[in-house]
Every structure is written in structure tokens, then in C-alpha cells.
A and B are shown apart, each in its own frame.
Chain A
Amino acid sequence: MIDARKPRSSGNWLTVYGGPLLIGALSIAGLLSALLYEGLGRYFSWLTLGAPVALTAWFYARRKRQRF
């Protein structure tokens, strides 16, 4: 937890919480859309709730690319 604090930018509200907040909002929208709208809502929920998984995979892939 020590290395988490590198003296670079001090960070602002949006860069820290912006990403998670967007993903969270999309997740909630997806959770509700499948419940409220049968056809399209379902597809929308797959996209929005799949986003956290896809994003994680993307970050992981990016890290691997940077390493080699």
C-alpha cells in the first residue's frame, strides 16, 4: 500500500472515481433494462454488465503487451 502513493499527480475526483462510476452506472442500467424491457433490454444488459468483464480483460491484455 506504500507504493500506491507515487509522488506524481495528486489525482482528482474524476480520474479516480470516473471510471468505476461510469461502469457502475452502466451496470445498474443493465440490471434494470433486462427486468423492464424484455427484448432490447436484454441485449442492452448483456453489453453493460459484460463491460466490467471486458474492461478487466482489456486491462490485463494491455499489461501483458506492455511487459513484452
Chain B
Amino acid sequence: MVHTWSSLISTLFLLLLCITGLPLIFHHEVDELLGYDPKPEIAQPGAVKRSIDEIARTALAHDPGRVLQYISWDKDEPNNVIAFTNNKVDGDPDAATLRAYDAHTAKPLGPVGGGPMLIFLKLHVDMFAGQPGKLFLGAMGFLFLVAIVSGVVLYWPFTRRLKFGTLRDKSRRIAWFDWHNLLGAVTIAWALVVGATGVINTLAEVMLGQWKANELADMVKPYAGKPPPVHLASLDTTLANAHKTAPGMNVSFVAFPGTPFTSSHHFAVFMRGDTPLTSRLLKPVLLDGETGEVSDARDLPVYLKALLVSQPLHFGDYGGMPLKIIWALLDVMTIVVIGSGLYLWIVKRRKHRSHAIAKQPSLQPAR
């Protein structure tokens, strides 16, 4: 019963998630192909990188009337400097414009993201329904986890007399039943991890709010009551100070004062390491918006670290192209599990109905 209902309620949405998730595995490749992932020019040997202040000015000149929210550095393409502009510092994330600039020439390289992949992404993340949509999909993901666990429990009575990997073709129903069991059994661990990390990701905003209300509020206490900075400090000075505070780390992105990732007084520079794991574990350095002096740097709380580490485990983007292909195959196998489960339920129901007409008592779901 638990297995039937937890799956049934979430089936449509899980199919949506699995199907939109499939192209998203190759997000990067598709964006590159369609020109939404601009590449920097090959730098001349000995070329010097432009100042970030200059790139920031270029970005603002490119989108007049807008303000900078973030500047980020692509991990795999360090010469790509990506500027996020919006109509105001805490503007709607959907209204943000992302443009890449060449680190050596400060030349605009073109918009980042957008295109068809953005539509898949929105469908996958919140079905264009904002935060409620996101939390709803999180709940569906949770039902998916319940369905998997209850499926493991049901696996025993249904397969205990069958050899692992039995695929019979006596009837269509038995064939799909065997496929449901086999594919479900071999993908369990992967599906649990991808499902659970997906659910964690739907809570990102909630976690960020928690961090801002506690840790961040505590860090910016000395600034309580002060007006926001009028004249912003030089970005180059700010970034150099952040580097000194977190030696050996690189800048992932800098959040401008007043954006959702920082306080209204501070730049927050998020530093990253360079291994697959430490590159996800960001360390924020808070710097005074007017002077660029470091005011505090603390590791993120455990729940945000868990969120950051859970992301690659959901995306499958941390083990090269072969891992992405495997991710896609496992996703297709999961689609078959969900589809065959739905089919088996429909067939069983139809059978019950015809039974019910013939003889009333067998209406109870058979186990």
C-alpha cells in the first residue's frame, strides 16, 4: 500500500523530473553547442589579466541602468569572468542577466545560460512556480524516497523464489513485472542518492535564509544601524584581501552588498579549493563594502556544506563525460521503473475491477 500510493501520487512529477533531468545532465555540452556558454579568446603568452574593476565597469556599461549582483569565475575556464546584473541588488533571480567577459581583454564574450536548457531547468527545479513549486517538487522527491524504501521491503515476498535477474516473457504483465524488479533493484542506491540530494537542493533557499538569520546576522552585528555603503570599495583590493584571508583558495564568486548572499554592508567573497570535493565547499569571507577590509570569515554551517556537497551527487557532473553518460542511462532505467510501475498498477486495477463484477469479495488489494 505504501509503495503503491507513494509512487502513484508522485508518478507524473517524477516522470517530469526524470525526463527534464535527462537533457540537463548534458547542460554544459548543449549550452556550448548552442552558443550559450561563451569561451574566452586564447590569451597571448605573457598577457596580463585586466583589473576586475575594469571588467565591472565594462559590464555596467554594457547593461546601462542595471547594478552588479555577483561576479563569478568559471572553475574549468578561469579566463571567463561572469558578471550578473539585475535591475536592483536584491532583484528577482529570473531577471538577472549573465554575461561572460574575457579576463585578459575585458571584452564581452556573450550571454551565459538561457536558451532551451533554461526551460528544462525551470521545469525541473520549480515548474515555473517559484519557491512553492520547488518545495512541492521536494515533497514529490520525498515520496520517491518512500516508494524506493517500501519497494525494497516488497522485493522480498515478490522475488524470494526467483533468481536475481530473472526476466520472463510469459505475459506482458509478467515481463514488465520482472523488468520493474530488476531495474529497480540495480538502480536503488543511485536513485536514493539522486533523489535525496535533489530533495536537499529544494531546501536551498530555506537553508540560505537560516544562515542569514543566524551566522551572517552574527557576523555583521558590529554594523547594525549603519547605512549601506555609498561608495563601493575597489573590487581588486577586496579580492586581494579575501585571498590573504583564505590562502591557497580561489574565488568562486563575489556577492555585492545587499544581494541575497550577503549583508547590505559587505562584499561576500566565496572561496573554493581545487579538488572535486573542496571546490564545492565554499568559504565565505566578508569584507567591508566601503573599505574592502576583511571583517569576518567563518566556515559555512554543516547544513550548507551538506547542500554544497549534495549538488554534484545530484547533477553527476563531477566524473567526466563517461559518468554523465552512465548518469543518463541510470536515469532512463529509472524512467522504465516508474513507467512499468504505473503500468502494473493499471493492469492490476483493471483485473480487480473485472473480478469485482464476477465476485465481490476479491476487491481487497492482493498481496
- Asked if B354 is at the interface (CB within 8 A of a chain A CB), the reply is no
Residue of B nearest to A19 (CB): B164
Residue of B nearest to A53 (CB): B329
CB distance B161 to A11 under 8 Å?
yes
CB distance A16 to B155 under 8 Å?
yes
Neighbour of A46 across the interface among B168, B182, B275, B319, CB < 8 A: B319
**B162 CB contacts on chain A under 8 angstroms:** 4, 6, 11
Count of A residues near B, CB < 8 Å?
A: 43
CB distance A16 to B160 under 8 Å?
yes
Closest 3 CB pairs of A and B: A11-B160, A24-B189, A52-B186
CB distance B158 to A4 under 8 Å?
yes
Count of B residues near A, CB < 8 Å?
A: 44
Neighbour of B158 across the interface among A1, A25, A38, CB < 8 A: A1
Residues of chain B touching chain A, judged by Cβ–Cβ distance below 8 Å, are 155-165, 167-170, 174, 177, 182-183, 185-190, 193, 275-277, 309, 312-313, 318-320, 322-323, 326-327, 329-330, 333, 348, 366
Contact residues of B: prevailing secondary structure: helix
A44 to B188, CA, bound (A): 19
Q: How far is the CB of A63 from chain B (nearest CB, A)?
A: 4
A9 to B161, CA, bound (A): 6
- Interface flags for A1-40 (1: CB within 8 Å of B; 0: not) read 1011111111100011111100111011001001110100
Q: Can you list 30 A-B contacts (CB < 8 A)? A: A1-B158, A1-B348, A3-B168, A3-B174, A4-B158, A4-B162, A6-B162, A7-B161, A8-B161, A9-B161, A10-B160, A15-B163, A16-B155, A16-B164, A17-B155, A18-B164, A19-B165, A23-B185, A23-B188, A28-B193, A31-B189, A31-B190, A34-B318, A42-B323, A46-B326, A49-B326, A53-B333, A58-B165, A59-B182, A67-B169
